[in-house]
Amino acid sequence: MEAGVEKKTAISPKSKKRPRRKREVPPTEVGDIEDISFSKDETLQIRASLLEWYDKNQRDLPWRTMSGSLDERDKRGYAVWVSEVMLQQTRVSTVIDYFKRWMNKWPTLHDLAQASLEEVNEMWAGLGYYRRVRFLLQGAKEVVEGGGRFPETLSDLRKIKGIGEYTAGAIASIAFRKAVPVVDGNVVRVISRLKTISANPKDAATVKSFWKLAGQLVDPCRPGDFNQALMELGATLCSLSNPGCAACPISAQCHVLSLSGENELVHVTDYPTKVVKAKQRHEFSAVSVVEILNCQETMGPQSSSKYILVKRPNKGLLAGLWEFPSVLLEKEEDLTSRRKAVDGYLQSSFNLDLKESTRIVSRENIGECVHVFSHIRLKMYVELLVLHAKGNRSIDYKKQDKESITWKYVDNENLGNMGLTSGVRKVYTMVQKHKQTEQSTIPGRRRKTAVRR
């Protein structure tokens, strides 16, 4: 169907209702995507207009101040690297405070290289996608071990663990003023609308074409500013569902905006083409918040009770992070089945026999919560299991060796201050609210519990 020609549906004289017209996006793309390019005039106009807009409207962000400094080249590269890794899959407003805290703790690449994985994981807690921070730490160690000078070319940057094509382009252009492009979701959205590209944006050939087009646009004199301007435009005015075309500095070069004025079937938000996301996998786990009490102590606010935390394996989802003891279930299970699974786990992992070596002070079902990862929807059944040893004996944990899990116990104060993942923080918050509710509704609970022990 040609642009500007409206598809009409014949209506039978006997019809009482007009049939609903199915909205179709006309094929506006001409030729192969590999043949699409920006003309010299288009390129010059887009550069000039976008940079003028950026100079007036750019957001005040801490990493831009650092990357704009002409001195301390290594610090520029480091600041851009940290910010770009944090910004992947995360909102700018969320990243600002994390970036400030990070740079205060590890102001240089050499400082970061001395940190432990546990330290950086705690600082990163809440940002998600924890593999990013593992690679960031590993990459910092590689640079320092290689002499400590921050690389500035694309080829050298790509050799560092965790730095891909996008991050390399961002560091090279923003920190070192190399005339190379960057392509993220915002850039894809802007370019697809400028050129009405309806091809699947996730397809390898399409991605390659976006990089080529972005490379044509990048300003050779101000590559870092231009790349940031293009991303800024996509993040603000050229948004996914509510674009502000009237205020867009490059609306005169936007092909889809022009077509939308000629054909009511064409909408700016039709581009880029929506890709159906993979269906999330549903998983279920039984989480046991195990609190250990000393025999001589009470359950009150001054108690020195401690919680068991387990370290996840060093590979896979949330690798190397701390969580409460939990068991992955094959399906949704009832309370009895969940407790049986937890008991077996505690016995095999900690030699924690709930009948022989310990006495159960209380065991309460706290409730359920859902935590969503990019590809997993995890439903957690949470319980609070309060224990103390029988006969003044200590809990007889298994010795930790290479084949066993890594664990530790943490008191309430330190647990509250730890950098916990979002999912673990949800569980901990549920338990704390439950305790507060019980203390306010049952004033005599503390005294009675102490007597029972």
Rounded to whole angstroms, the Cα distance separating 419 from 130 reads 12
Token representation of residue 198: 């309806």
Residues 100, 87: contact at Cβ < 8 Å? Answer: no
DSSP H stretches of helix in 246-402: 255-262, 335-350
- Of the candidates 223, 248, 250, the one whose C-alpha atom is nearest the C-alpha of residue 236 is 248
- Of the candidates 236, 237, 240, the one whose C-alpha atom is nearest the C-alpha of residue 188 is 240
Its sign, for the CA torsion 132, 136, 137, 139, is positive
How many CA atoms, within 13 angstroms, populate the side-chain half-sphere of residue 424?
25
- Of the candidates 300, 293, 267, 252, the one whose C-alpha atom is nearest the C-alpha of residue 385 is 293
Residues in the chain, overall count? 453
Q: Which of 24, 42, 72, 84 is catalytic?
A: 84
β-pairing, 306-311 with 322-323?
antiparallel
Is residue 72 annotated as part of the catalytic site, yes or no? no
Q: What is the largest CA-CA distance in the chain?
A: 92
State phi, psi for 320 to the nearest 5 degrees: 75, 10
Give CA angle at 240 (238, 245), nearest 5°: 30
Residues β-bridged to residue 307:
291, 410
Token representation of residue 173: 């252009």
Q: What separation in angstroms does the CA of 23 have from each of 26, 199, 239, 266, 267?
A: 9, 18, 22, 9, 11
Rounded to whole angstroms, the Cα distance separating 91 from 86 reads 9
User: CB neighbours (10 Å) of residue 166?
Assistant: 16
State phi, psi for 399 to the nearest 5 degrees: -70, 140
How many CA atoms, within 13 angstroms, populate the side-chain half-sphere of residue 353?
6
Rounded to whole angstroms, the Cα distance separating 379 from 280 reads 12
Active site residues: 84
